[in-house]
Chains A and B, each alone.
Chain A
Amino acid sequence: QPQQRPWFLCRNEDLKEMLESNKESLKLEAMKRIVGLIAKGKNASELFPAVVKNVASKNIELKKLVYVYLVRYAEEQQDLALLSISTFQRALKDPNQLIRASALRVLSSIRVPIIVPIMMLAIKEAATDLSPYVRKTAAHAIQKLYSLDPDQKEHLIEVIEKLLKDKSTLVAGSVVMAFEEVCPDRIDLIHKNYRKLCNLLVDVEEWGQVVIIHMLTRYARTQFVSPWREDAVFDENSAKAFYDSEEERRVDQSKPYIMDPDHRLLLRNTKPLLQSRNTAVVMAVSQLYWHLAPKHELSIITKSLVRLLRSHREVQYIVLQNIATMSIQRKGMFEPFMKSFYVRSTDATHIKTLKLEILTNLANEANISTILREFQTYVKSQDKAFAAATIQAIGCCATNISEVTDTCLNGLVLLLSNRDETVVAESVVVIKKLLQTQPSQHSDIIKHMAKLFDNITVPMARASILWLMGEYCEHVPKIAPDVLRKMAKTFTDEEDIVKLQIVNLAAKLYLTNSKQTKLLTQYILNLGKYDQNYDIRDRTRFIRQLIVPNEKSGALSKYARRILMAPKPAPVLQSAFKDRDRFQLGTLSHTLNSQASGYLELSDWPAVAPDQSVRNVEVVEPVRLPCIYLVFKDNENSDDSNKSSSSQSEKSSSESDSEKKKTLKNKKPQQQKLDSKDSSPVFVPETSHELLHRMTGKGLSAQYRFTRQPCIYGNSMVSLQLTLSNSTDQALENIHISEKSSTGQNIHRFNAIERLEPQASVTVSMGVDFNDSTQAANFQLCTKEDEFSVSIQPAVGELLLPITMSEADFTKEQGKLVGMNESSATITMTPENVSSQSVNRKVVSVANLGVIPSGQENIYRFSGKTVSSGSLVLVSVVLKDPDAVITINTEKTVMGSMLLRQVKTALTNSGP
């Protein structure tokens, strides 16, 4: 009996049918449902084969949805994903820039390690594309490739270096992003582009601006000297610096600080961006000023930051955090805007607490009474957590500003009679902290608290009061024993923290006033001894041994008084935002107050400025203008009124592909005498060949396959992909190709693999210059212990690269390569091979050739060139039912005849 399939499989089954139907609308409907599944997080990966077939669809929406699917599942279905690659490779050559860009975007988003060389090549090519949009896409692709294969770093840095020189505003943001991700330490790449980036900045799109500003902040901190030294004297918080640096000041006076013009350039060009509507941009400029500007110029960022407080809750949260950090060091910046930080009852709790923090930081002798009045309102808030935070804030103000300590203390004492427990508890805790700073003057407050004690039920508050009683029992000699008496009665009903403090109080009183409290203490210690909580039992036992002298207690009890009654340092009430500016403002790390992964440290100012001339740029530089501008140039004279960007945009839109192609053609150096173009392979066979069997390789096995791509290591090399697997149970180390090659071929070795774990395998790429011959390349594959001789024997078809040309060119070229250069054969075709698809497929599977669109039905033409010497190889198949004539024209006659033999076998064999 067949097993019942779960319902969702059945559903997917009908999706599969829809995808395989001939109707576009059905396919689209199916894709929409699949996207719905993906959005819900359901697994739709089993439909991969059906979906991927539609990758080349003409319907744009269908195609886009297939892309969405492909990018989502390619990582899980690597082998099948490869089927789509050739479509993208073809699109990379499309005359339309947007299609090229979209192809590169999707190709680079497919996270399949095997296509790394293809991606690398595509990125390199796109980086020199005439369209800035394609170059922008290339910059994005850099990061994707880097995260897929970090080994490509060096090559990618070359591309980044090239793109950093780009003058287009479209590219700037994206390439700096790539720079930050791949090689943020290569600050040397920025020098020459620094001024250009500063000048472009205003016109870059907003997201790019944020990234560039953050990068330039880091750059500036390594290249310019501090602008702060000179005006440190005026700095409100640096009185210490003033005294400490008498000597330094003399140096300053003798050599006044002059800001590097490049430093000034950055400050000047970022300033207008404070007016951006994008809050991230405003924050980025603010942090740049904070970290780079002379202190007296800082005030210009204040207004903009305060403006951001009108924005969404989440924006407020981040901005307030940054203001909190700033306001600790520079109260003056925000003091005029103090009222903007007043709390509204509708604010979220974390916004309220941040505002409190800032108000506390801003408090000084002049405004403290206003702030305290405001705080009084907050204390009454219905949001009790916030009321408690306000009490803490009052405590902070009281310690920071000695003039108001007494006022605050009195206010807090009044709060002790508040009806809300959290308020009372928090007040007690804060009062306790305040009293510790000056206990002697406040015995009446302690008495007052003792009176209130009966009404307070919050354990933390009760514990705090008891601690105060014990600590200052000498100031309240009459009350303390009475409190202890009451406590002895209720001991068993108290919370654990209160019990601990009762034991403490008893011990302290026993030491200071043993006459009155001896019996009470003993009673309490007895209660403690049988308490359910072992902490309390422990503490009781310890206290008893310490304070009650008996024969067993050693020398320690002599010191009991000094141990228990030691003067204790007052707690320091300070802001949670103190020292938070060790993190660059505006960063995630600053928000979290801990280093986030990938955080880039801001360096200290250099003592001496590095060479300034590194940023000089030679004036004459061959600039290749992007095509858009070329179009403008033509029209600029005819345009009278608007010199501004307005006129340009209009023209850019009128840019047509034909115009672009013209420019493209003009620009491209005419290396080839005929109008043929390199093209991507039509077909890439998946079959791999064995290089080293695991038996002979002592557990190391290797397989190779031809990628049929132009080799990135050298123009005359054939690109190969090697898969190395370790089938032993030990890791293999240092796998590499030996330097000496026994035959003469030039081999580009892969980078040595340091370590290959057991059962693991790794794929690397290498290049071999076979010099247009099928002679095997022999070399030594080595591990740390062993060397294995291996050889790669290429099929003749792999020594070619496809090119495309027009039919006319083909016949013309064919006409030149006759006589000795022509070899041909007649074969009998089996009927199932006669279809055009099957002929094409068979030929391209044997040889890496490009298909030439043919005007005649029974003639098939293929063209390619040899990898090393670039000689043309032309193949034509003419069908004359039931026979077929295969003709091969090439200068390389040996290759020609070998190729003929292979094509012949392929076409006569039936089967796929």
Chain B
Amino acid sequence: MIHSLFLINASGDIFLEKHWKSVVSRSVCDYFFEALERATEPENVPPVIPTPHHYLINVLRHRIYFVAVIQSEVPPLFVIEFLHRVVDTFQDYFGVCTEAAIKDNVVVVYELLEEMLDNGFPLATESNILKELIKPPTILRTVVNTITGSTNVGEQLPTGQLSVVPWRRTGVKYTNNEAYFDVVEEIDAIIDKSGSTITAEIQGVIDACVKLTGMPDLTLSFMNPRLLDDVSFHPCVRFKRWEAERILSFIPPDGNFRLLSYHVSSQNLVAIPVYVKHNISFREGSSQGRFELTLGPKQTMGKAVESVLVSSQLPRGVLNANLNPSQGTYTFDPVTKLLSWDVGKINPQKLPSLKGSMSLQTGASKPDENPTINIQFKIQQLAISGLKVNRLDMYGEKYKPFKGIKYMTKAGKFQVRT
């Protein structure tokens, strides 16, 4: 299926190549570079590019293009999903997925890619199995390896691959047994000029960090499972029990993983935690524009709105902005016209505002579009949908684990049109 993989950085250099079948010359990437040149933004490169003899399917993450070379019909999502899985694995192994990290760990990268695909078909993509095969590099291990000449490749054979729960490695041992679950919800919303909600929906995930000895069997139940409109599971979750009892029953992988992602439908009313008052205007014939922005909390269930970051792409005609924030700092990039304002925490008593003027090109007509405002924020200890975990039980092991649940609400794609 996947013939070859090329990694290309932002400046258009191929810095890694790997072939699973006969070697495909790197000149095939010329077609990709053509597409890259045509695209105005890096994101605008089409994910699927046909060439006379091959098809190029690429994903862009961390400013690196992962370009897979395909020779014949294959579901494109199959390749795309796999490439993202590769990036996730790199991130998992090296902490970051940058060109430098990949180049520094080129041997591990190669070993990983070798295990992940056989003849272009995915072989081992579970992080738990891979970690049994190839140990992630750590500073300590690197030092030890240099001195003793030992290796990163596991001496043991990966029995996990043969097991019925391939996602969990065997022989797990911890002195402190702990299981943490983070319920993270993101609000995607479009708010119109007048402040009314055009569309809003909640996407949630439950990320887990489980460090439990042996083969624990967990069940997690919710107070209000009906809220979950559409869910997708980690393969460890037993679907039948969810269907019948709305209970998550699973043997967890070891370490960090995403247990569940869910969607709370747009049919339900979604609480919008912040509001924006804005007055952005340009006058005809004047080289000045007014800019006023005030943020305030709306439906926050009494919790503080933190880490607020406002960004906006100002019209091309704006030369500079001279603004005065009541709190936090702002930057304006005169080249990209990107305004960003790091607000911090919203204090309901003293609402943060950003006011001032924008200077426009003299003589140019007034821009007729108004900028969209993107907002990011975080609210700790709150799941905005109201989802609550009822209890977590463990079977199959004797010890008492330490359990923890954390809730958080974040802005997803939260846009205010002006």
Give A contacts to B, CB under 8 Å.
Answer: 24-25, 28, 32, 35-36, 38-41, 59-62, 64-65, 67-68, 72, 75, 96-99, 105, 108-109, 111, 131-133, 137, 140, 143-144, 147, 170, 174, 177, 202, 205-207, 210, 214, 272, 275-280, 282-284, 303-304, 306-307, 310, 312-315, 317-319, 336-337, 339-340, 342, 344-346, 348-350, 374, 377, 380-382, 418-420, 586-589, 591-592, 594, 596-600, 628, 641-642, 644-646, 648-650, 652-653, 655
Q: Please, how many angstroms separate the alpha-carbon atoms of A329 and B158 in the complex?
A: 49
A588 and B316 in contact, given A60-B155, A140-B119, A275-B231 (Cβ under 8 angstroms): no
A214 and B75 in contact, given A318-B47, A344-B190 (Cβ under 8 angstroms): yes
Q: Please, how many angstroms separate the alpha-carbon atoms of A312 and B151 in the complex?
A: 35
Q: Please, how many angstroms separate the alpha-carbon atoms of A376 and B142 in the complex?
A: 58
Q: Please, how many angstroms separate the alpha-carbon atoms of A653 and B169 in the complex?
A: 9
Smallest CB-CB separation from B159: which chain A residue?
Answer: A653
Chain A: minimal CB distance from B270 (Å): 11
Give B contacts to A, CB under 8 Å.
Answer: 1, 14-19, 21-23, 26, 40-41, 43-44, 46-48, 50, 55, 57-61, 70-78, 80-84, 106-107, 109-111, 114, 118-119, 121-123, 125, 149, 151-155, 157-166, 168, 170-171, 188, 190, 192, 198-199, 201, 203, 214-215, 217, 229-235, 238-239, 243, 251, 258, 261, 263, 266-267, 313, 315-316, 365, 368-372, 374, 395-396, 413, 415, 417
Q: Which residues of A contact B41 (CB under 8 A)?
A: 348-349
Contact for A342 among B106, B198, B234, B374, CB less than 8 A = B198
Q: Give the top 6 A-B pairs by smallest Cβ distance, nearest first.
A: A598-B72, A25-B149, A61-B151, A653-B170, A339-B199, A649-B165
Chain B: minimal CB distance from A81 (Å): 14
Other A-B pairs beyond A72-B19, A345-B313, 6, CB < 8 Å: A318-B48, A600-B73, A646-B165, A649-B163, A649-B165, A653-B171
Q: Decide if B232 touches A276 in the complex (CB within 8 Å).
A: yes
Q: Decide if B75 touches A280 in the complex (CB within 8 Å).
A: yes
Smallest CB-CB separation from B122: which chain A residue?
Answer: A207
Q: Decide if A41 touches B26 in the complex (CB within 8 Å).
A: yes
Chain B: minimal CB distance from A276 (Å): 6
Q: Decide if B261 touches A420 in the complex (CB within 8 Å).
A: no
Contact for B365 among A143, A272, A419, A599, CB less than 8 A = A419
Chain B: minimal CB distance from A62 (Å): 8
Q: Decide if B396 touches A642 in the complex (CB within 8 Å).
A: yes
Q: Which residues of B contact A587 (CB under 8 A)?
A: 73, 75-76
A314 and B47 in contact, given A41-B26, A339-B266, A420-B368 (Cβ under 8 angstroms): yes
A111 and B153 in contact, given A340-B201, A650-B215 (Cβ under 8 angstroms): no
For this complex, 26 residue pairs linking A to B, each with C-beta atoms less than 8 Å apart, are: A38-B110, A39-B17, A39-B109, A41-B17, A105-B118, A140-B118, A143-B121, A144-B119, A170-B162, A207-B78, A277-B235, A280-B75, A307-B232, A312-B84, A318-B77, A340-B199, A340-B201, A345-B374, A349-B40, A380-B370, A382-B369, A588-B76, A598-B71, A641-B396, A646-B217, A649-B251
Q: Decide if A65 touches B77 in the complex (CB within 8 Å).
A: no
A596 and B73 in contact, given A39-B18, A310-B203, A641-B395 (Cβ under 8 angstroms): yes
Q: Please, how many angstroms separate the alpha-carbon atoms of A99 and B156 in the complex?
A: 11
Q: Please, how many angstroms separate the alpha-carbon atoms of A342 and B17 in the complex?
A: 38
Q: Which residues of A contact B230 (CB under 8 A)?
A: 303-304, 306-307
Q: Decide if B396 touches A646 in the complex (CB within 8 Å).
A: yes
Q: Which residues of B contact A646 (CB under 8 A)?
A: 165, 215, 217, 251, 396
Q: Please, how many angstroms separate the alpha-carbon atoms of A645 and B114 in the complex?
A: 29
Q: Please, how many angstroms separate the alpha-carbon atoms of A413 and B43 in the complex?
A: 33
Q: Which residues of A contact B365 (CB under 8 A)?
A: 419
Q: Decide if A645 touches B18 in the complex (CB within 8 Å).
A: no
Q: Which residues of A contact B50 (CB under 8 A)?
A: 592, 594, 596
Q: Please, how many angstroms separate the alpha-carbon atoms of A147 and B22 in the complex?
A: 10
A39 and B55 in contact, given A132-B162, A597-B71 (Cβ under 8 angstroms): no
Q: Decide if B73 touches A275 in the complex (CB within 8 Å).
A: no
Chain A: minimal CB distance from B104 (Å): 10
Contact for A318 among B76, B198, B215, B417, CB less than 8 A = B76
Q: Decide if B23 touches A72 in the complex (CB within 8 Å).
A: yes
Q: Decide if A28 touches B149 in the complex (CB within 8 Å).
A: yes
Q: Please, how many angstroms separate the alpha-carbon atoms of A382 and B192 in the complex?
A: 17
Q: Decide if B415 touches A344 in the complex (CB within 8 Å).
A: yes
Smallest CB-CB separation from A29: which chain B residue?
Answer: B149
Smallest CB-CB separation from B78: which chain A residue?
Answer: A280
A98 and B158 in contact, given A277-B261, A377-B417 (Cβ under 8 angstroms): yes
Contact for B81 among A59, A279, A588, CB less than 8 A = A279
Q: Please, how many angstroms separate the alpha-carbon atoms of A35 and B77 in the complex?
A: 30
Smallest CB-CB separation from A210: which chain B residue?
Answer: B78
Q: Decide if A133 touches B162 in the complex (CB within 8 Å).
A: yes
Q: Which residues of B contact A350 (CB under 8 A)?
A: 44, 46
Chain A: minimal CB distance from B52 (Å): 11
Q: Decide if B75 touches A39 in the complex (CB within 8 Å).
A: no
Interface core residue of A38, A99, A588, A594 (most chain B CB under 10 Å):
A588
Chain B: minimal CB distance from A274 (Å): 8
Chain A: minimal CB distance from B16 (Å): 5
Q: Decide if A40 touches B16 in the complex (CB within 8 Å).
A: yes
Contact for A174 among B23, B121, B192, CB less than 8 A = B121
Smallest CB-CB separation from B168: which chain A residue?
Answer: A649
Chain B: minimal CB distance from A273 (Å): 9
Q: Decide if B81 touches A342 in the complex (CB within 8 Å).
A: no
Q: Please, how many angstroms separate the alpha-carbon atoms of A377 and B107 in the complex?
A: 50
Contact for B374 among A131, A346, A348, A649, CB less than 8 A = A346
Q: Decide if B110 touches A588 in the complex (CB within 8 Å).
A: no
Q: Please, how many angstroms separate the alpha-carbon atoms of A75 and B315 in the complex?
A: 57
Q: Which residues of A contact B22 (CB under 8 A)?
A: 75, 111
Q: Which residues of A contact B266 (CB under 8 A)?
A: 337, 339-340
Q: Which residues of B contact A68 (CB under 8 A)?
A: 110-111, 114
Chain B: minimal CB distance from A586 (Å): 5
Q: Which residues of B contact A65 (CB under 8 A)?
A: 107, 110-111
Smallest CB-CB separation from B124: which chain A residue?
Answer: A205
Q: Which residues of A contact B170 (CB under 8 A)?
A: 649-650, 653
Q: Please, how many angstroms separate the alpha-carbon atoms of A287 and B396 in the complex?
A: 39
Q: Please, how many angstroms separate the alpha-carbon atoms of A68 and B107 in the complex?
A: 11
Q: Decide if A642 touches B171 in the complex (CB within 8 Å).
A: no
Q: Decide if B110 touches A39 in the complex (CB within 8 Å).
A: yes
Q: Decide if A206 touches B235 in the complex (CB within 8 Å).
A: yes
Q: Decide if A35 touches B315 in the complex (CB within 8 Å).
A: no
Q: Which residues of A contact B369 (CB under 8 A)?
A: 380-382
Q: Please, how many angstroms separate the alpha-carbon atoms of A597 and B55 in the complex?
A: 10
Interface core residue of B16, B107, B161 (most chain A CB under 10 Å):
B107
Q: Please, how many angstroms separate the alpha-carbon atoms of A65 and B107 in the complex?
A: 9
Interface core residue of B26, B123, B203 (most chain A CB under 10 Å):
B123
Q: Please, how many angstroms separate the alpha-carbon atoms of A589 and B168 in the complex?
A: 37
Q: Please, how many angstroms separate the alpha-carbon atoms of A263 and B170 in the complex?
A: 39
Q: Which residues of A contact B81 (CB under 8 A)?
A: 278-280, 315
Contact for A35 among B40, B106, B233, CB less than 8 A = B106
Q: Please, how many angstroms separate the alpha-carbon atoms of A642 and B86 in the complex?
A: 34
Q: Decide if B106 touches A652 in the complex (CB within 8 Å).
A: no
Chain A: minimal CB distance from B403 (Å): 19
A382 and B368 in contact, given A64-B111, A591-B76, A645-B164 (Cβ under 8 angstroms): no
Contact for B157 among A39, A96, A377, CB less than 8 A = A96
Q: Which residues of B contact A382 (CB under 8 A)?
A: 313, 315-316, 369, 371
Q: Which residues of A contact B155 (CB under 8 A)?
A: 60
Q: Please, how many angstroms separate the alpha-carbon atoms of A339 and B190 in the complex?
A: 10
Contact for B44 among A349, A381, A588, CB less than 8 A = A349
Q: Please, how many angstroms separate the alpha-carbon atoms of A533 and B14 in the complex?
A: 44
